[in-house]
Amino acid sequence: MTLEQVVSIPTQASEKPAILYIDDEEDNLVVFKSAFRRHYNVHTAKSGEEGLEILKSLDASLVITDQRMPKMTGVQFLKNLPEDKDMIRMILTGYSDMESIVEAINTGQVYRYIVKPWEKEELKITLDNAIEAFQLRRTNKHLIHELQEANEVLEQKVEERTEQVNRQKEEIEKLLLNILPVEVANELKEKGAATPRFYESATVLFTDFVGFTSIAEGLSPNELVSELNNCFLAFDSIIEKNNLEKIKTIGDAYMCAGGLPVSNETHAVDAILAAIEIQDHMERLNEERKAQGLVPWTLRIGIHTGPLVAGVVGRKKFAYDIWGDTVNLASRIESSGEGGKINISETTFEAVKEWFSCLYRGKVPAKNKGEVDMYFVQSRINRRG
């Protein structure tokens, strides 16, 4: 398939993406539609039954549903969606217990589980990411169809093509291992699905570049992508060495976790060792940048330890992701830190205090989390004997 053919695959990019929002409270529907109607073609329904009726004639990119509703819950609504409906599915609810999250992921094929109250800017970012995922899903659907046709042709070729096909299969397996943990990828290949797991204790690490917007303004798109890619490749190597699992990058932010997919007791220490190496790498990089007369890149790192759920989302485009309040608080720990420092939570501190010297910062305000005890990691503690 040529580049022109791929670009010509139909998407909804030329018009406002259609979103269906279901909630049994009229006020919630009005507020949501008022907040996002400029950006999306917003449809609303007061019940799961009404939503199913609307979807008979609506080609929606995204469906968002409340969880606790009369007659039909949000998860039950998602389970009742026809198989041919490939829209992205999200739950927006006031309840955030782990059992509901696991049920939603297992039975509702949920892309995101968002807890009310929501903030417009943060929710819009999530909606944009979901719609982009939908457009990629649609594109992949067409590409897979083309690939299936190509495979039918390949099956008719003679033996000299067999080696080429086998090499392609090997590359696909390598790609799967690049985007999923080995254990998860193996389960996916053996069973056709990967079961979400609850981890009683895991450690989440976030990084973010300080003043990235102003940095980006001084670089061309190619330069910006190249700089970020070089940093993230270095981070990949560091976290792999320290037994952490990369989750994803979000713009200039980098997210990884320890203690999964295989549980261990060293994940908090592993995360801080990785964070120290990442900051050391950035110091060396900035020395080189200063010598070249370039602006240094300052990095914040935040780490939090707690329970979470991990699993694979998506059917055609797999992604290993994590959910729960631990992830949200880890993000807040990062944003409440300082450039060039490693900011950790109380629970992480308790897990690593015998290994690292830390400076107590006191109770620090964290967005939507109130005041949180935080610490700066200062140095390793020399242990003898």
Question: DSSP states of 139-181 as a string?
Answer: HHHHHHHHHHHHHHHHTTS-GGGHHHHHHHHHHHHHHHHHHS-
Q: Containing H/E element for 297?
A: none
Angle CA(279)–CA(281)–CA(282) in degrees, nearest 5? 65
Q: What is the pTM of this model?
A: 0.54
Distances (CA, A) of 188 to 97, 195, 197, 262, 312: 26, 9, 14, 15, 9
Average pLDDT over the chain, rounded to whole? 84
CATH topology of domain 197-380: Alpha-Beta Plaits (3.30.70)
- Residue 352 to residue 272: CA distance in whole angstroms: 8
Q: What is the pLDDT of residues 27-71, one digit of tens each?
A: 999 999 999 999 999 999 999 999 999 999 999 989 999 988 888
Order the strands of the 41-45 sheet from edge to edge: 41-45, 18-22, 62-65, 88-93, 112-115
What is the arithmetic mean of pLDDT over 107-113? 75
Q: What is the pLDDT of residues 247-277, one digit of tens each?
A: 888 888 999 999 988 899 999 999 999 999 9
Helix (H/G/I), strand (E/B), else coil: 307: strand
Q: What is the per-residue pLDDT for 382?
A: 72
Helix (H/G/I), strand (E/B), else coil: 272: helix
Nearest to 381 by CA among 276, 231, 233: 276
Contact 307, 260 (CB under 8 A): no
Tokens 């690939």 found at: 147
Q: What is the per-residue pLDDT for 211?
A: 84
- Residue 24 to residue 93: CA distance in whole angstroms: 11
- pLDDT of 317 higher than 80: no
Q: What is the pLDDT of residues 180-221, one digit of tens each?
A: 666 666 666 666 666 788 999 999 999 999 988 878 787 888
What is the arithmetic mean of pLDDT over 219-237? 89
Domain 3-128 matching CATH 3.40.50.2300: the answer reads: yes
- Residue 352 to residue 380: CA distance in whole angstroms: 10
Contact 303, 271 (CB under 8 A): yes
216, two tokens: 């980006």
Contact 301, 279 (CB under 8 A): yes
Q: What is the per-residue pLDDT for 10?
A: 44
Contact 329, 302 (CB under 8 A): no
Tokens 């001084």 found at: 218
Q: What is the per-residue pLDDT for 7?
A: 39
DSSP bridge partners of 321: 311
247, two tokens: 């989750």
Contact 155, 68 (CB under 8 A): no
Q: What is the pLDDT of residues 318-360, one digit of tens each?
A: 778 889 999 999 999 999 999 999 999 999 999 999 999 999 9
Between 4-18, 209-223, 247-261, 285-299, the lowest mean confidence (pLDDT) is in 4-18
Q: What is the b/e burial string over 129-168, where b = at least 16 CB atoms within 10 angstroms of the residue's CB?
A: ebbebbbebbbbebbeeeeeeeeeeeeeeeeeeeeeeeee
Between 149-153, 174-178, 216-220, the lowest mean confidence (pLDDT) is in 174-178
Helix (H/G/I), strand (E/B), else coil: 271: helix
Q: What is the per-residue pLDDT for 236?
A: 93
